[in-house]
Structure 1
Amino acid sequence: MPLLIVVVGIAALLLLTIKIKLNTFVSLVIVSIGVAIASGMPLNKVVTSVESGLGGTLGHIGLIFGFGVMLGRLLADAGGAQRIALTMLKYFGARKLDWAVVCSAFIVGIALFFEVGLILLVPILFAIAREAKISPMNMCVPMLAGLLVAHGFLPPHPGPTMIAREYGADVGVVLLYGVLVGIPVFILCGPLLNKLCKRLIPEAFKKAGNIESLGVEKNFSEADMPGFAISFFTAMLPVILMALVTIIQMARPKDAGDPGTLYSIILFIGNSTIAMLVSLLFALYAMGVGRGKKIPELMASCGQAIAGIAGLLLIIGGGGAFKQVLIDSGVGSYISSLVSGMDISPILMAWGVAAFFRICLGSATVAAISTAGLVIPLLSTHPQTNLAMITLATGAGSCICSHVNDASFWMVKNFFGLTTKETFLSWTLMSTLLSISGLIFIFILDMMI
């Protein structure tokens, strides 16, 4: 019965969001309540479970999301993102545009939601394509690979940060392992896969695309853009802070005794929330006040950025409610008991559940957080499991097979003027390869540490 309840719940969610076209957040709450009641949860605990799941998820991740999206907007509005892309282009040269784009997307994507990074980078990509007199499709797959790797593997991007919090994994460790896994994955799924796509869909690489729906393109002159060093440092500062603190923690002997005040301060600064706040304050100066902008103008940009993610935050909260219901109703424990006697890796389990949710629901974020509700009970029977690896496996699974129920699928299709088939053989193929190769590299790294 618990398995049947989950299947029916997912089917109801698909019906509400795809067929009836009900708001995703409302659909998630309705399904969460329905699953809780069908699972036999006492009625006086149903709403409490939903509220605790929603509040528990947003209580931590809301700060990361808010600071992150403001940081990304400040970087974009100052021309910092364009500076990073153009410098990478100059460094790699016209013959290696795919490498320039994948590296730029990888860097810029760390501080931005996938869809926001896509909307930010597409106009820059089209401008580069005009200068090089080539189709923008030549750089499409590498750009998407760089953004998706950041989305799936790298804190302080909201997705991996949120998953790490649900599993209780150290965000800094997830970041270090995510870089080790992410670099070979974006090389494979970016420049290398791009060569295969050119053979599979050659006509797509002759299309000009169309980004009129994005409005007037905002291009910065050389004098208007900040320098590359400050732009790069601003984008990477939260990563640098968390990585340094994690390295210090790993290097410090466990029997070193009283850590002292200085060490406590270092740990405080390396906390993901504080690291994002410090980075945002630095961005306000480096991308704003230090370049002659007034505080009200900067706050207007930050306000617009926050308004743009309000709907997404509710959806994430709804996913957290669904996750908590799966745990509180005992569904997660039931599934854990089913597989506890099997010789199945929790890493593979996390990846498989996330992949299933992603294919069914379309949203990588909802897939990842819903996965936690089924995998967390399993971890009690596998106490030696590396939580950072579980986090990365969930992120990898949530990236798989983006298709027609995912908004990103249609964004890519429309921006680059692709047919549905061409979108499947580029974007969908890339997201699937990224997910599978990510799992393989996660297993390899898990065996090495």
Structure 2
Amino acid sequence: MSFLIVAACMAVLILLLTWGKMNAFVAFMLVSILAGLSLGISPEKIPASLQKGIGDTIGGLLGIIVLGAMLGKLVAESGAARQIANTLMQLLGAKNVQWALMIAGFIIGVPLYYGVGFVLMVPLIFSVVYQYKLPAVYIGLPTLAALSITHGFLPPHPSPAALVTQFHADMGLTLFYGLIVAIPALLLAGPLFSRLLVNMPSDSNKLFAQSSNEEKPLPGKFNSFLTALLPVILLVATTAATHMPAFQGNRWVLFLGDAPVVMLLAAVVAAFSLGTMQGTPMKQVMNTYAEAVKDIAMIVLIIAGSGALKQVLADSGVSNSIATAMQSWHIPVLVLGWLAAALIRACVGSATIAGLTAAGMIGPLMIQSGANPNLMVLSIGAGSLMFSHVNDAGFWMFKEYFNLSIKNTLLSWSVMETIVGITGLAGVLILNCFF
């Protein structure tokens, strides 16, 4: 009976988000209250569950998400992102321009949130399309696949960072495993798949015909790459150090490897390297940081709402009941997490909501099964990127920017996202054999 109640609450959540067009945070809160009442939690205890869920979920994440948004916005507005793309195109040459843009998308995608990265990279894609007279979908899809992969697999992006917190995983190890899984997913969904789309008709967007003629001086090449990748460098370096006998238990290594500290250091370094050292007053840099917080306010609220629902399910005892029931399905928990996220993604459209909702359902089962929490983060992340269609904003952004029919958007964008999701799961299952 409890399983049916939870399934009904999930259905109500999906209906509120899709048919009702309700704000995701409001929908999560309403469904959390409905679930609490339906599962027998005393009404006066429900507010405490909501508050605990929100606090526990956001407490460790707020600094990571906010500081990550600040860094990403400054990387974009300072011109560092454009410098990275231009440098890679110069290094790899006109023949490999697709690879140059894809690698740039991956590097830029690490600090930038998906929507920002999308809007930033599309003008670069079309400037190359016009300059070299190349097929737009063939050139652009691998770059946008790179952005999608970083969004779904790699901390400090909101969804994987939130999943790390919920599953008590290690941020550095998750990032390391995520990079291993991301590379084959990117190659398959990017350059290899796009070969099938060379002849796909696309009426290139004239808005970006002159987009590459900006005169603003760009930051230096080394500065741009180092600042954008600093969180990755610090997390990977400190994670590696903790596995070396000479540094195990070292207080400074543990301090510097803490994700909020990493993001704080990266944001402070960027304020100087991409701000004041480029002639931008510190006040203007701080204004950029303030604007970045506005950009991600709703993402923070969505994560908070998902935490409230997770806590209500935990306090009612139904999470453990569902976990026990799922054990009889004889489906590996990593596959089950992927499947749950994929189904919710297909219904709701949002990768973030899909990942966080699936995590609340799978968490107790993961603990009982003893699954690797770092791989669990990646499995659910891969599932949350599955089949993107008409209920996903990314689907419509790609369709409109590239002027495609709905059929061709499904054949290009939707298939690309599905390849990423399936390849991601395969990578997780292979890693699970070794770790």
TM-score normalized by the length of structure 1: 0.92
* 2:366 is the counterpart of 1:386: no
- Give the conservation status (yes or no) of the 8 Å contact 1:210–1:417: no
The equivalent residue for 1:401 is 387
User: Secondary structure at the residue paired with 2:61?
Assistant: helix
Deviations 1:370-393 (A, max 9, x none): 11211111123223x211111110
- Give the conservation status (yes or no) of the 8 Å contact 1:13–1:27: yes
- Give the conservation status (yes or no) of the 8 Å contact 1:144–1:427: no
The equivalent residue for 1:250 is 243
- Give the conservation status (yes or no) of the 8 Å contact 2:102–2:142: yes
- Give the conservation status (yes or no) of the 8 Å contact 1:211–1:415: no
- Give the conservation status (yes or no) of the 8 Å contact 1:340–1:378: yes
CA distance in 2 between partners of 1:15 and 1:145 (Å)? 29
- Work out which of the residue numbers 305, 316, 321 in structure 2 matches 1:318: 305
Q: CA deviation at 1:266?
A: 1.6
CA distance in 1 between partners of 2:212 and 2:20 (Å)? 37
- Give the conservation status (yes or no) of the 8 Å contact 1:399–1:432: yes
- Give the conservation status (yes or no) of the 8 Å contact 1:160–1:395: yes
- Give the conservation status (yes or no) of the 8 Å contact 2:127–2:211: no
Give the letter for the 1:245 counterpart: T
The equivalent residue for 1:159 is 159
CA distance in 2 between partners of 1:100 and 1:182 (Å)? 17
The equivalent residue for 1:370 is 357
The equivalent residue for 2:121 is 121
- Give the conservation status (yes or no) of the 8 Å contact 1:136–1:209: no
CA distance in 1 between partners of 2:351 and 2:408 (Å)? 22
- Work out which of the residue numbers 327, 330, 338 in structure 2 matches 1:343: 330
Q: Which runs of 5+ in 2 are unaligned?
A: none
* 2:205 is the counterpart of 1:209: yes
Give the letter for the 2:416 counterpart: M
Give the letter for the 2:319 counterpart: G
User: Secondary structure at the residue paired with 1:251?
Assistant: coil
* 2:3 is the counterpart of 1:16: no
Instruction: Summarize the alignment of residues 50-449 of structure 1 with structure 2, pairs less than 5 Å apart.
Output: 50-198=50-198, 202-204=199-201, 206-209=202-205, 220-221=214-215, 224-252=217-245, 259=249, 263-383=250-370, 385-449=371-435
CA distance in 1 between partners of 2:346 and 2:146 (Å)? 21
Give the letter for the 1:392 counterpart: L
Please tell me the root mean square deviation across aligned C-alpha atoms, in Å: 1.9
CA distance in 1 between partners of 2:28 and 2:212 (Å)? 37
- Give the conservation status (yes or no) of the 8 Å contact 1:98–1:190: no
CA distance in 1 between partners of 2:377 and 2:18 (Å)? 28
Q: CA deviation at 1:211?
A: 5.1
CA distance in 1 between partners of 2:226 and 2:433 (Å)? 33
User: Secondary structure at the residue paired with 1:293?
Assistant: coil
Give the letter for the 2:244 counterpart: A
- Give the conservation status (yes or no) of the 8 Å contact 1:327–1:374: no
User: Secondary structure at the residue paired with 1:368?
Assistant: helix
Q: CA deviation at 1:308?
A: 1.5
- Give the conservation status (yes or no) of the 8 Å contact 2:53–2:311: yes
CA distance in 2 between partners of 1:218 and 1:87 (Å)? 14
User: Secondary structure at the residue paired with 1:288?
Assistant: helix
Distance 1:6 1:139, change over 3 A: farther
CA distance in 2 between partners of 1:328 and 1:219 (Å)? 57
Q: Which runs of 5+ in 1 are unaligned?
A: none
CA distance in 1 between partners of 2:124 and 2:279 (Å)? 24
Off by >4 Å, runs of 4+ in structure 1:
216-219
CA distance in 1 between partners of 2:271 and 2:213 (Å)? 21
